[in-house]
């Protein structure tokens, strides 16, 4: 089984690429952003706390994100009834008859402490991270793409000020995580400035060369 982590600043298209990779390699796509938005949609206490933070463009704290991620991974690993309606965590199952063994995590970790937490969670599940993919784009292109996304999705966290704040947070807090994975030899950087299909082709080449 393969377990991947995909990185990228806001607007880099990591969610899109994670979905494509999940389909191609039969992986479960676990997006912490989707998990949080599900909580917001359900208006749970966790969702109410998370919404206020997300609307400011800040990172949601470990006390909220880690339990959601841990539950998503554990729920996946237990192979529940695919017809059950009781599992809001597997938002990318798409009616498949079973849950994939491997996974691709999108949106986590965003700090070195979270990277260490993720290793601990995987260790308890007797699993490991096989590859970390980082999608990189010029910052002006990121802002342009997010503006386009906002016009379509109407997301409340896609305003100009929040966009730039989130990119600044990414540079400040997430870049050290990339260095952390670079030292371990797990990191592969991909230019994400081309079309979706071209970027996906490059990522697939990296995956096939490293772990296939």
118 — pLDDT class (breaks 50, 70, 90): very high
Query: What Rg value do the Cα atoms of the chain yield, rounded?
Result: 16
Higher pLDDT, residue 164 or 104? 104
Give residue 189's pLDDT band: very low, low, confident or very high (50, 70, 90).
Answer: very high
Question: What is the structure's pLDDT at 77?
Answer: 47
Higher pLDDT pick, 78 / 8: 8
Which range among 32-46, 55-69, 145-159, 183-197 shows the weakest confidence by mean pLDDT? 145-159
Find the domain containing 36 and state its range: 3-211
Number of domains the chain contains: 1
Is the distance from CB of 122 to CB of 128 less than 8 angstroms? yes
Question: Other C-beta atoms within 10 Å of 83: how many?
Answer: 7
Largest interatomic CA distance in the chain? 45
Name the β-bridge partners of 188. 133
Which pLDDT does position 62 carry in this prediction?
93
pLDDT of residue 165: 81
Mean residue pLDDT of the chain comes to 84
Query: Which long-range contacts does 54-59 make (Cβ < 8 Å, 24+ apart)?
Result: 54/157, 55/156, 55/157, 55/162, 56/162, 56/165, 57/157, 57/161, 57/162, 57/163, 57/165, 57/166, 57/169, 58/165, 58/169, 59/110, 59/111, 59/169, 59/173
pLDDT value, residue 34: 92
Write the CATH number for 83: 3.40.50.300
The tokens 């969670």 sit on which residue? 121
pTM above 0.85, yes or no: no
The SS3 assignment for 155 reads: coil
The pLDDT tens digits of the residues spanning 88-106 come to 444 444 554 456 789 999 9
pLDDT tens by residue, 61-77: 999 999 999 999 987 54
Could you read off the pLDDT of 8-59 as tens digits, one per residue? 888 889 999 999 999 999 999 999 999 999 999 999 999 999 999 988 878 8
């Amino acid at each position: 089984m393969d377990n991947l982590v995909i990185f990228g600043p806001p607007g880099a298209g990591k969610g899109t690429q994670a979905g494509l990779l999940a389909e191609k390699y039969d992986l479960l796509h676990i997006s912490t952003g989707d998990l949080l938005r599900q909580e917001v949609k359900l208006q749970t206490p966790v969702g109410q706390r998370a919404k206020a933070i997300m609307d400011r463009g800040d990172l949601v704290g470990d006390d909220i994100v880690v339990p959601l991620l841990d539950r998503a991974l554990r729920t996946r690993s237990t192979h529940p009834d695919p017809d059950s309606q009781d599992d809001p965590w597997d938002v990318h199952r798409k009616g498949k008859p079973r849950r994939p063994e491997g996974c691709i995590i999108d949106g986590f970790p965003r700090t070195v402490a979270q990277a260490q937490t993720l290793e601990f969670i995987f260790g308890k599940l007797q699993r490991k991270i096989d590859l970390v993919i980082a999608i990189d784009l010029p910052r002006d292109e990121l802002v342009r793409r997010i503006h386009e996304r906002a016009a379509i999705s109407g997301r409340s966290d896609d305003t100009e000020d929040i966009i730039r704040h989130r990119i600044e947070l990414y540079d400040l807090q997430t870049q050290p995580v990339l260095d952390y994975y670079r030292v371990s030899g797990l990191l592969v950087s991909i230019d994400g400035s081309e079309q979706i299909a071209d970027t996906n082709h490059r990522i697939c080449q990296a995956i096939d060369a490293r772990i296939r």
